[in-house]
Amino acid sequence: MDFFKYIHAVGTGEKGNRNLTQAEAKDMMEQILKQEVHPEQAAAFLLGWRLKPETTDEFRGVVDACDGFIKRAPVANSIELGYPFDGKANNPFIFPLVAKVLKESALELVVVGDDLAPAKAGITLKEVATSIELNKNIHYFDRANFFKEMHDLTQMRMRLGLRTGINTIEKLTRVASSEFAITGVFHKPYVKKYVEVFSDKYKRFALIQGNEGTPELFSKGRLWLVNGEDVQEMIIDPEYFGINYTKSWEKITLEESIEQVNNPSDEFLKLARLNAAVFMFVAQKANTIEEAYEKLNG
C-alpha cells in the first residue's frame, strides 16, 4: 500500500485519524524496515502513531513484520530479559551479577543490546555486555547481527529524539526462542498491551515495575505474572527479604556501573539474589520467589 496512506491515518488530527488494521501495520513496518520509504516519511509516521496512540492490533502487526527479519538462534532452558534500548542513566545493570548467582540453577539468561535509542540517553546494555567478561549462562545477542534492519533505523530514531511505538515492541525479540520472558514496564496501562501482544508467544510471560524500565527490581514494585488469560499481580519488596539497598537518583558513568558489578556491596549482591529468585520463579524453577531466594542463599 502507498505509505502516504499510513501517514494520513495517523497525521490528520483527532477527527481524521484512524487505527491501522493488523495487516496494514505489518505492511507499514515492513516498508520502514526495508527502507522503501524516505526517513522523513518514516519519522512522520512514527511521531503521529505515538500521538494517536498505538493499538494492540497495530503492535501485533509490527511484531509480525519484525518476525520476518529476525535471525533466531535457540537457547535451551532460557529466559529472555526484555531491556529498553535507551539504557540506564542512574543505576548500574545487575544482570551480570544475577547470572553469577544463577550459575548452578540450569537457567540461561538471554539479553539483547544495540546502540543507544531515544530518549533517556543512559548507559546501554551493549556497552556493559561488551566491556566485561560475562558468565557462560548469559547469552548476549547484538541486534546489529540478528536484526540489522531495525539496527539500521537507529540514526533516524535518534534524530527524531523521541520515544515511539518501536520502543514498546522492540524489547522482546524471541531471538533465542526462549520459553520464558520478563520485561520492565513503566506505566500500568501498558501491562494490558504487553499481555495482549506477547503473552501467547511464551510458555510463561511476566512484567515487572523494574528500575528505569528494565526487568531489574531495585526497590518495592509490582510483578505481573501471566498464565493464559489470567494476570496475577503481586508486590515484591526487597525489605521483606532483609535487603536495604538505596538506588541512585544521580547519573553514573559506564566505569562506575561496571565497578559496582565487579566489586558489589553486600546489599547489591543480596539484590542480585532477589532478582535471580524472581527469574527462577517466572521460569518455573521454584514455586514461589521466597522458595527461590532461600535456595540461592542455601
The single-letter DSSP state of residue 251 is: -
Pair 10, 129 in one domain = no
Residue 152, pLDDT > 90, answer yes
Pair 155, 187 in one domain = yes
Whole-structure pTM value: 0.96
Residue 275, pLDDT > 90, answer yes
Does the residue 73 lie in any domain? no
pLDDT reported for residue 228? 77
Pair 57, 28 in one domain = yes
- 3-state helix, strand, coil split of the chain in percent (to 5) is 45, 15, 40
Per-residue pLDDT tens over the stretch 234-257? 999 999 999 999 999 999 999 999
| Contact residues for 15 (Cβ-Cβ < 8 A; gap 6+) | none
Three-point CA angle 223, 229, 234, nearest 5°: 20
Does the residue 72 lie in any domain? no
Label residue 158 by pLDDT band (50, 70, 90): very high
Residue 82 near residue 205, CB atoms below 8 Å = no
Per-residue pLDDT tens over the stretch 43-93? 999 999 999 999 999 999 999 999 999 999 999 999 999 999 999 999 999
pLDDT reported for residue 229? 76
Per-residue pLDDT tens over the stretch 180-203? 999 999 888 889 999 999 999 999
* Pairing mode, strands 138-142 and 180-184: unpaired
pLDDT reported for residue 110? 98
* CATH code for the domain in which residue 239 is found: 3.40.1030.10
Cis-peptide, bond into residue 117, ω within 30° of zero: no
The residue among 23, 46, 67 that closes a domain is 67
The residue among 20, 41, 67 that closes a domain is 67
Pair 115, 257 in one domain = yes
**266-282 vs 289-296: helix crossing angle, rounded to 10:** 130
Pair 30, 131 in one domain = no
Pair 20, 150 in one domain = no
Number of independent structural domains in the chain: 2
Does the residue 105 lie in any domain? yes
Residue 1, pLDDT > 90, answer no
Return d(Cα 65, Cα 234) in angstroms, integer: 33
Average pLDDT of the chain is 96
Pair 208, 233 in one domain = yes
The residue among 67, 96, 123 that closes a domain is 67
Residue 282 near residue 79, CB atoms below 8 Å = yes
Which residues constitute the domain of residue 15? 3-67
Does the residue 271 lie in any domain? yes
Per-residue pLDDT tens over the stretch 100-144? 999 999 999 999 999 999 999 999 999 999 999 999 999 999 999
